[in-house]
Chain A
């Protein structure tokens, strides 16, 4: 619990001959020679990705197939390198999801700008944008590296939803409207 000087001793005669060093070096080398491999033969072998990994950002649907994004543009605002571009849109009145009212018309994430920081996921009030497990993106042109809406949903897939808040809201409204008729 103090300031301690590091130990420094002059080399002994034996150490000056370099023989103890060679012995130690060889011992270390041989131990590693027979030890299990620490490398991974990527891409044949893939590393295990832990939960909560921040991979490529994707858009997800809820278990009923509804696109969760309501194009509030909060992620677009927070994204530090400004990788996200959203064109907000309306949901058609005759759609089964009409009660949610809004969904993005276009949603682009430029993977040449994205720094995988995860702030978009953190701020999203709909849990619609998720950084999932994919970590490797390649393309021949800049255009190819921009993920458009379709691609984002394809990458994202469906995630469970604990709240289904829009459907609950609609059910409550329906119930209230129904109750009003009596």
Chain B
């Protein structure tokens, strides 16, 4: 798309001058420290004026070798590392990882544990989408959305802090259960949060949804067709934004999701605006799920009870009985005992399908652990999406994909 200049009154001159106006392609490094590349993504752009002719994502700035690290520690010791994949929804990562390993052991967790996990996953989804929404607002020039969504997110962090002991790095699940039961009165506080959240969410969304400036930046920008979305392996809101109604919570339910009623919002055009709308609606559906779980919160144990080779004995027992003391030592030093075999499990995380492929040769340490990170797959469509757009649209497209480099680079 070379720019053409016309000299109306100098026909002869035009021919001679034309080569001088051949625009030269310019290369521009966007990131790894650029506010709109959310973390440490680097885009190597080739520009023709304002138009992007080529976009090459360069990743790996946050690579920590998580998969290799996993091979060197017991299954439970790896839980804190899963916090650091999609660090905007650590609870959801914890849950996905625990379920994957439990599938390997063919271990069922009690209903209460499942319910706790569903609530934590959905709250994590809301928190992650709130950040996505606020950051997207800033990317396209709407500052206040960020402030209000972060105020709500702070309330969620207070709830996470009570539940897990940490705001951010939750490390909440264990193989066969969760680290501890929900604290006294916590479910009421979650309920109260949900009630006040919906009107506020509507107010926040209203700042953008019918906003002409926002729509100008997003409608018809970064259109992903249904076929492309599937071909590039997109998942999560980015896939649903393109009209594909795949949601693992519905299509391959885990942790008791089949018990709850919720809708799967999908887009119609697959542009940035659709992806934004889908995330907005998903938060409302998450609230709906949380309310259903809380209305019928199961009592009983919150850890698998019949798995002495996997789940640690209770602290009281460890302190008073020699047998449990030894069991505790064995479990910690050798890890939860898994059968040989392999398993692949995907969970519907806020960013898309987070998969863990665990290969075990028996014992308490994985032989190989592969992480299928949704952000990594979602970013693979960037070169196609960005070619031919303006530089400012790249910012809009990046924000709408809502990726996180922690899990992309892992």
- On chain A, the residues within 8 Å of B171 by CB distance are 117-119
Q: Does A65 contact B (CB under 8 A)?
A: no
Q: Is the CB of B268 within 8 A of A80?
A: no
Q: Is the CB of A28 within 8 A of B207?
A: yes
Q: Is the CB of A80 within 8 A of B144?
A: no
Render A159-172 as a binary contact track against B, CB cut-off 8 A, 1 for contact. 00011010000000
Q: Does B262 contact A (CB under 8 A)?
A: yes
Q: Is the CB of B166 within 8 A of A54?
A: yes
Q: Does B169 contact A (CB under 8 A)?
A: yes
- On chain A, the residues within 8 Å of B206 by CB distance are 24
- On chain A, the residues within 8 Å of B215 by CB distance are 11
Q: Does A96 contact B (CB under 8 A)?
A: no
Q: Is the CB of B319 within 8 A of A8?
A: no
Given contacts A6-B281, A74-B329, A74-B332, contact A15 B264 (CB under 8 A): no
Task: Output the least CB separation between A9 and chain B (Å).
Answer: 8
Q: Does B161 contact A (CB under 8 A)?
A: yes
Selected contact of B268 from candidates A6, A38, A50, A78, CB within 8 Å:
A6
> In whole angstroms, how far apart are the Cα atoms of A32 and B144 in the complex?
11
Q: Is the CB of B148 within 8 A of A52?
A: no
Q: Is the CB of B169 within 8 A of A77?
A: no
Q: How many residues of chain B are within 8 Å of chain A by beta carbon?
A: 57
Q: Is the CB of B278 within 8 A of A6?
A: yes
Q: Is the CB of B148 within 8 A of A4?
A: no
Closest chain B residue, CB of each to CB of A18: B212
Task: Output the least CB separation between A101 and chain B (Å).
Answer: 15
Q: Does B407 contact A (CB under 8 A)?
A: no
Q: Does B259 contact A (CB under 8 A)?
A: no
- On chain B, the residues within 8 Å of A67 by CB distance are none
Q: Is the CB of A80 within 8 A of B80?
A: yes
Q: Does A51 contact B (CB under 8 A)?
A: yes
Q: Is the CB of A11 within 8 A of B212?
A: yes
Interface residues of B (CB under 8 A from A): 73, 76-81, 144, 148, 151, 154, 158, 161-162, 164-166, 169, 171, 179-180, 183, 203, 206-207, 210-213, 215, 243, 245, 261-269, 273-274, 277-278, 280-281, 312, 315, 318-320, 325, 328-329, 332-333
Q: Does A131 contact B (CB under 8 A)?
A: yes
> In whole angstroms, how far apart are the Cα atoms of A118 and B151 in the complex?
28
Interface residues of A (CB under 8 A from B): 1-8, 11, 15-16, 18, 20-21, 24-25, 28-29, 32, 38, 50-54, 74, 77-78, 80, 115-119, 122-123, 125-127, 131, 162-163, 165
- On chain B, the residues within 8 Å of A163 by CB distance are 319-320
Closest chain B residue, CB of each to CB of A22: B211
Task: Output the least CB separation between A53 and chain B (Å).
Answer: 5
Q: Is the CB of A3 within 8 A of B266?
A: yes
Selected contact of A125 from candidates B78, B169, B179, B319, CB within 8 Å:
B319
- On chain B, the residues within 8 Å of A126 by CB distance are 319
- On chain A, the residues within 8 Å of B183 by CB distance are 50-52
Interface of B (DSSP majority class): helix
- On chain A, the residues within 8 Å of B277 by CB distance are 6-8
> In whole angstroms, how far apart are the Cα atoms of A21 and B78 in the complex?
48
Q: Is the CB of A116 within 8 A of B169?
A: yes
Selected contact of A4 from candidates B263, B273, B320, CB within 8 Å:
B263
- On chain A, the residues within 8 Å of B315 by CB distance are 127
Q: Is the CB of A119 within 8 A of B80?
A: yes
Q: Is the CB of B319 within 8 A of A24?
A: no
Given contacts A32-B148, A54-B166, A117-B80, contact A3 B210 (CB under 8 A): no
Q: Is the CB of B265 within 8 A of A38?
A: no
Given contacts A1-B261, A5-B268, A6-B277, contact A125 B162 (CB under 8 A): no
Task: Output the least CB separation between B215 and chain A (Å).
Answer: 7
Task: Output the least CB separation between B55 and chain A (Å).
Answer: 27
- On chain A, the residues within 8 Å of B264 by CB distance are 2-4
Task: Output the least CB separation between A10 and chain B (Å).
Answer: 9
- On chain A, the residues within 8 Å of B265 by CB distance are 3-6
Task: Output the least CB separation between B12 and chain A (Å).
Answer: 47
Q: Is the CB of B266 within 8 A of A4?
A: yes
Task: Output the least CB separation between B53 and chain A (Å).
Answer: 31
Closest chain A residue, CB of each to CB of B80: A117
> In whole angstroms, how far apart are the Cα atoms of A28 and B179 in the complex?
40
- On chain B, the residues within 8 Å of A2 by CB distance are 263-264
> In whole angstroms, how far apart are the Cα atoms of A51 and B162 in the complex?
7
> In whole angstroms, how far apart are the Cα atoms of A51 and B180 in the complex?
13
What are the nearest 7 A-B pairs in CB distance?
Answer: A3-B245, A54-B165, A6-B277, A117-B80, A50-B162, A4-B263, A123-B332
Task: With A20-B210, A80-B78, A127-B319 given, name 8 new contacts (CB 8 A).
Answer: A3-B264, A3-B265, A4-B281, A8-B277, A28-B144, A74-B329, A78-B332, A131-B165
Q: Is the CB of A25 within 8 A of B144?
A: yes
Q: Is the CB of A21 within 8 A of B165?
A: no
- On chain B, the residues within 8 Å of A21 by CB distance are 207, 210-212
Selected contact of A77 from candidates B166, B263, B333, CB within 8 Å:
B333
> In whole angstroms, how far apart are the Cα atoms of A52 and B170 in the complex?
12
